[in-house]
Chain A
Amino acid sequence: MKRWELALLVVLVAEIAIFATANPKFLMPRVIFGSINDIIPICIISLFVTMVMITAGIDIQAGAVVGLASIVLGVSWQDLGLNIWVAALFAIAVAALVGLLTGYIVAYFKVQPMVVTLGGSFLYAGLALLVSTLSSTESYKGISGFPDSFTSFASYRIGGVLPVQVVVFLVMAVFAYVLLHRTKYGRKIFLIGINQNAAEYAGINTRFIIMTTYVLSSISAAVAGIVLTSYLGTAKSDLGASLTLPIITAVVLGGTLMTGGKGSIIGTALAAVIIGELKFGLPLCFRVNMQYLDIPVGVLLLVVVSARAVASRPGFQVLVHKLKSHGRN
């Protein structure tokens, strides 16, 4: 495990320890596992946005895709009469198509990913709203009344303790880990992010690979949307509206370089869980108002990136070196 991941692990353990001392209830398996329910979309999506960012791209439309997938699921079940699981597959297919379009524009037209996904965040949020108007239900109410088999899925706890959502997250994390760190595809993602020209000269089809990372992140957004719909029991077009920034925060905290070429699934997963526990633990253990939680998350991000920036300055490194040799004398 790399140093950064280790540091994140220490932060997570410390965080849990602090919360547990403040409120021993926090450590109950039911409670601590339950905490993930609220942050599952961030956890799942950030895993795959990590891959996008390693190619030196960015995806700020994932939140919109969550809503789109949710409402497509709802409408195709309620108004098209599809089986709920077929509807879920359909929602994933729609999201994959969305990712394909975005990825194609980014990779083959070389438009800045920030702009394309900014446009996408409007477009897909808008499309989600339009899809919701196709339904016979008012869009602000959302579509509910799903079959029990679907709604109980996300709330099911294996052995009465371990929520299925945690399992979904772990499965996705393992999948993402193997894909990024154990396959040639993953290696190509890193190489492209480090030096796209050099990757081209190595015979790597960089544009195709870049495009597929956006497909993956959109599919993960759809999966998150389906899990969230199942958990809430309601399909709404704006489910993911506020997810964009926490996702980017998790990816960056996880050690992914904005300029591409560096990042890890373990880091992102740990960072997402740290953010999740923070948001869960502060209200539970310190009675911090739920609405204040943007502050600790923002501060965490600012402190971490600033500290990393200062530590990587040549001046600072010289200082450290001097201090070390001074200590030896």
Chain B
Amino acid sequence: MAEEDLLLEARDVVKSFGLNLVLKGVTLTVHKGEVLSLIGGNGAGKSTLMKIIMGIYTADKGSLSICGQRLEGAITPSRAMKAGVYMVPQEPMIFPHMTVSDNVLMGFRGNKADLKKRLSEVYKEIGCTIDLSRLGMTLSIAEQQMVELLRGLMRQSRVLILDEPTSSLTFDEVQTLFKIIGDLKSKGIGIIYITHRMAEVFEISDTIGIMADGRITLNGPVSDFTREMLVNALLPETKKKEARERTPIEKKIRKAMPLIEFDHFSGYGFKDISFKVLEGEIVGIAGVVGAGRTEFATAVFGREKPLGGRVLLDGTDITGLSTKEVIRLGINYVPEDRHLNGLFGISPVASNITSALLNSKLTGKGGFLNQASENSIADRYIEDFRIKVTSRFQEAGSLSGGNQQKVVLARALATMPKVVILDEPTRGIDAAARGDVYGIIYKLREQGIAVILISSDIDEIIELSDRAVVFCQGRISAQFPRSKINQENLTAASFGVYKEDNHAA
């Protein structure tokens, strides 16, 4: 493609957070009218790269030019926007109490009538159908993205970044979005499209870039790729063979009786989930972000009302019980977002660990708090889990990510559950802490506890699970016994393209 068609060029971008090297020299170009699909697992560095392009983060090394203009020095979001890029974030930043047109025009200077006129032109151009007088809070995610798109177009952006725009859209909304992307493309706007969905990649992109481990590992026109290549390319190099050659870990003989059983369990965000977990078994739940796994787990845990089906614990129906009851009966859940739902940041480590035990006699009788027993419980977990603290009174929020996660794990396990649901237990923690967490999970299995492990890290599912259940768009797309848990199967099933016959041989 011609040089003058070049809209965006990022060259040899390097970025590290502390000791963690996130981008290891990434080069990326976008031309006029090009849709570049950027694919990669969680933590591959996609969003870091995009935030650097948008001026939210500053790169350690590398150069960036937008529309032929090389951006030197510190790039701020407003500079990047002026130069001609706009990112539609995965969760749009909408003013909930403003109308659509105010939402789009906020932050602009100039005659209001002129702006409105330009808005209505842009609006017509992309065939938008949202009523401009509606309030931000009434918009669906798809419509909010539309507002963000309008914001970008009103700033006459030449490059639009769409960060997983379809993850919360319905099928029809996706089709509308694709039509708009087609229109923008024909107007010469360059688009970087980040997605997890394989089918979409082939539907809309001109070029594909695959990111893994802080690099772009493959880059080329869409015609050079097949679906299998994408799935393959997403696997980290080293794991491809190793995964298949692993010998199954020796297991204890278990009772035939399932400890927990889901029978056509349905709720907001998931439907007809049926599987069993035996005593001392680790069942991994794989899937992409937004597949309904967390919704499933929180519904089991009494945080959201279920819509149908049953959950049986030891044969007793526990569907729809309150969190307090569920904990008392022997289930605990380690939430995905530990800052939002797990950790009491400005509270001491000890009271974090005992927080789920306050309804039990273990922390004291007659409503009084027994400091001595609380301390001994806390000390036991601090020692067992190797939580690095200055004392049990250190504020939990001041610990490192890994140690915070151990505290949240300790909180759940202190209630002596029979079933533990771990939601992304190792997200965002370092390798050493990850090893410790794995050790804890193995120990739980030895103790005969049923473990449900939700993870977006496929390696983690492979390493730990005795069985794997794969969620896709709120349903179970496949279940695998230990022998069939491998990168290819899990990836394919996560994207809903797993077919039995692929692996019949």
What's the Cα separation between A185 and B411 when bound, in Å?
Answer: 18
Is B364 interfacial (CB-CB < 8 Å)? yes
What's the Cα separation between A195 and B395 when bound, in Å?
Answer: 14
What's the Cα separation between A195 and B339 when bound, in Å?
Answer: 9
Chain A nearest Cβ from B412, distance in angstroms: 9
Is A272 interfacial (CB-CB < 8 Å)? no
Contact A190 B351 (CB under 8 A): yes
What's the Cα separation between A203 and B323 when bound, in Å?
Answer: 5
If A191-B355, A195-B343 touch, does A182 touch B301 (CB 8 Å cutoff)? no
Is A201 interfacial (CB-CB < 8 Å)? yes
Residues of B within 8 A of A262 (CB): 346
What's the Cα separation between A194 and B351 when bound, in Å?
Answer: 12
Contact B367 A194 (CB under 8 A): no
Is A168 interfacial (CB-CB < 8 Å)? no
Q: Which residue of B lies closest to A262 (CB)?
A: B346
Chain A nearest Cβ from B452, distance in angstroms: 16
What's the Cα separation between A102 and B326 when bound, in Å?
Answer: 30
Is B201 interfacial (CB-CB < 8 Å)? no
Contact A201 B369 (CB under 8 A): no
If A187-B358, A190-B351 touch, does A201 touch B343 (CB 8 Å cutoff)? no
What's the Cα separation between A203 and B347 when bound, in Å?
Answer: 17
Contact B369 A190 (CB under 8 A): no
Contact A186 B369 (CB under 8 A): yes
Is A202 interfacial (CB-CB < 8 Å)? yes
Contact A200 B323 (CB under 8 A): yes
What's the Cα separation between A181 and B3 when bound, in Å?
Answer: 70
- Secondary structure of the A contact surface, majority rule: helix
Residues of B within 8 A of A200 (CB): 303, 323, 341
Residues of B within 8 A of A195 (CB): 340-341, 343-345
Contact B364 A184 (CB under 8 A): yes
Is B359 interfacial (CB-CB < 8 Å)? yes
Interface size class of A (residues with CB under 8 A): 20 to 34
Residues of A within 8 A of B343 (CB): 195, 198
Contact B356 A183 (CB under 8 A): no
Residues of B within 8 A of A194 (CB): 344-347
Contact A201 B324 (CB under 8 A): no
Q: A203: which of B341, B346, B356, B369 is its contact (CB, 8 Å)?
A: B356
Query: Which residues of chain B from 355 to 411 have any CB-CB distance to chain A below 8 Å in the complex?
Result: 355-356, 358-359, 363-364, 367-369, 411
What's the Cα separation between A184 and B365 when bound, in Å?
Answer: 9
Residues of B within 8 A of A99 (CB): none
Contact A202 B355 (CB under 8 A): yes
Query: Which residues of chain A from 191 to 219 have any CB-CB distance to chain B below 8 Å in the complex?
Result: 191, 194-195, 197-205
Q: B327: which of A182, A188, A191, A203 is its contact (CB, 8 Å)?
A: A203
Residues of A within 8 A of B356 (CB): 201-203
Contact A184 B347 (CB under 8 A): no
What's the Cα separation between A205 and B326 when bound, in Å?
Answer: 13
Residues of A within 8 A of B347 (CB): 190-191, 194, 261
Contact A182 B335 (CB under 8 A): no
Contact B369 A202 (CB under 8 A): no
Q: Which residue of B lies closest to A178 (CB)?
A: B368
Query: Which residues of chain B from 304 to 349 have any CB-CB distance to chain A below 8 Å in the complex?
Result: 323-324, 326-328, 333, 335, 340-347
Contact B341 A191 (CB under 8 A): no
Contact B324 A205 (CB under 8 A): yes
Residues of A within 8 A of B368 (CB): 182-184
Contact A187 B351 (CB under 8 A): yes
What's the Cα separation between A304 and B303 when bound, in Å?
Answer: 41
If A182-B369, A184-B364, A185-B367 touch, does A201 touch B335 (CB 8 Å cutoff)? yes
Contact B363 A184 (CB under 8 A): yes
What's the Cα separation between A205 and B327 when bound, in Å?
Answer: 12
If A201-B301, A202-B356, A202-B358 touch, does A187 touch B369 (CB 8 Å cutoff)? yes
Interface size class of B (residues with CB under 8 A): 20 to 34
Residues of B within 8 A of A190 (CB): 347, 351
Q: B344: which of A182, A185, A198, A205 is its contact (CB, 8 Å)?
A: A198
Chain A nearest Cβ from B279, distance in angstroms: 23
Q: A184: which of B324, B328, B358 is its contact (CB, 8 Å)?
A: B358
Contact B344 A203 (CB under 8 A): no
Contact A203 B359 (CB under 8 A): yes
Q: Which residue of A lies closest to B340 (CB)?
A: A197
What's the Cα separation between A261 and B348 when bound, in Å?
Answer: 11
Residues of B within 8 A of A186 (CB): 369
What's the Cα separation between A188 and B347 when bound, in Å?
Answer: 11
Chain A nearest Cβ from B265, distance in angstroms: 20
Q: Mark contacts of B278-303 with chain A using CB atoms, 8 A cut-off: 1 yes-contact digit, 0 otherwise.
A: 00000000000000000000000101
Chain A nearest Cβ from B393, distance in angstroms: 11
What's the Cα separation between A286 and B429 when bound, in Å?
Answer: 61
Chain A nearest Cβ from B148, distance in angstroms: 27
Q: B358: which of A182, A188, A201 is its contact (CB, 8 Å)?
A: A188
What's the Cα separation between A183 and B355 when bound, in Å?
Answer: 13
Q: Mark contacts of A65-92 with chain B using CB atoms, 8 A cut-off: 1 yes-contact digit, 0 otherwise.
A: 0000000000000000000000000000
If A191-B344, A194-B344, A262-B346 touch, does A204 touch B355 (CB 8 Å cutoff)? yes
Contact B341 A197 (CB under 8 A): yes
Q: Which of A184, A187, A195, A203 has the most CB of B within 10 A?
A: A203
Residues of A within 8 A of B367 (CB): 183-185
What's the Cα separation between A200 and B346 when bound, in Å?
Answer: 17
Q: A201: which of B341, B345, B363, B364 is its contact (CB, 8 Å)?
A: B341
Q: Which residue of B lies closest to A195 (CB)?
A: B344
Chain B nearest Cβ from A3, distance in angstroms: 13
Q: Which residue of B lies closest to A205 (CB)?
A: B324
Residues of A within 8 A of B340 (CB): 195, 197-198
What's the Cα separation between A188 and B359 when bound, in Å?
Answer: 10
Residues of B within 8 A of A205 (CB): 324
Contact A201 B342 (CB under 8 A): yes
Contact A201 B303 (CB under 8 A): yes
Chain B nearest Cβ from A200, distance in angstroms: 6
What's the Cα separation between A186 and B324 when bound, in Å?
Answer: 18
Q: Which of A182, A187, A205 has the most CB of B within 10 A?
A: A187
Residues of A within 8 A of B411 (CB): 202
Contact A198 B342 (CB under 8 A): yes
Q: Can you offer 19 A-B residue contacts whose CB atoms are under 8 A?
A: A183-B367, A183-B369, A184-B363, A184-B364, A184-B367, A185-B367, A188-B358, A194-B344, A195-B341, A195-B345, A198-B341, A200-B323, A200-B341, A201-B303, A201-B356, A203-B328, A204-B324, A205-B324, A261-B347
Chain A interface residues (CB < 8 Å from chain B): 182-188, 190-191, 194-195, 197-205, 261-262
**Other A-B pairs, 7, CB within 8 Å; known A202-B355, A204-B359:** A186-B369, A195-B340, A195-B344, A198-B344, A201-B303, A203-B323, A261-B347
The 6 closest A-B pairs by CB, nearest first: A202-B356, A203-B327, A203-B324, A194-B344, A202-B355, A197-B341
Chain B interface residues (CB < 8 Å from chain A): 301, 303, 323-324, 326-328, 333, 335, 340-347, 351, 355-356, 358-359, 363-364, 367-369, 411
